[in-house]
């Protein structure tokens, strides 16, 4: 009954703007967004390490290109919405 917490990701890092642009392309929807300055204390860049997942689970990312990441997630949400 042990649990394990690991980060799963490509470790390449993406900006919010890159994700937003991709989501608009993939979904074909106008996704509203408000551009604002970074909040006090927010790091300029933050990328999680997936090293623990690699070491313990042998896990490797399947996708690293932003459109592939967004599209695979979008497909899951569409299937769930369809029942």
Instruction: Quickly list H helices, 1-83.
Output: 16-27, 51-57, 66-82
Cα separation of 49 and 52, whole Å?
8
* Arithmetic mean of pLDDT, 9-35: 93
- pLDDT of amino acid 51: 94
- pLDDT of amino acid 63: 78
- pLDDT of amino acid 11: 85
pLDDT of 9 higher than 90: no
Interior angle at CA 18, CA 72 and CA 83, nearest 5: 25
Q: What is the pLDDT of residues 45-78, one digit of tens each?
A: 888 899 999 999 999 988 778 999 899 999 998 9
- Mean pLDDT, rounded, of the chain: 91
SS3 label, residue 64: coil
Exposure of 17 in the CB half-sphere (CA atoms within 13 A): 5
């Amino acid at each position: 009954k042990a649990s394990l917490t690991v980060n799963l990701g490509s470790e390449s890092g993406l900006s919010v703007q890159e994700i937003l642009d991709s989501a608009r392309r993939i979904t074909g929807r106008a996704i509203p967004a408000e551009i604002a300055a970074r909040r006090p204390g927010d790091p300029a860049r933050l990328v999680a390490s997936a090293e623990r997942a690699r070491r313990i689970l042998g896990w490797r990312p399947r996708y690293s290109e932003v459109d592939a990441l967004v599209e695979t997630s979008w497909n899951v949400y569409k299937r769930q919405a369809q029942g």
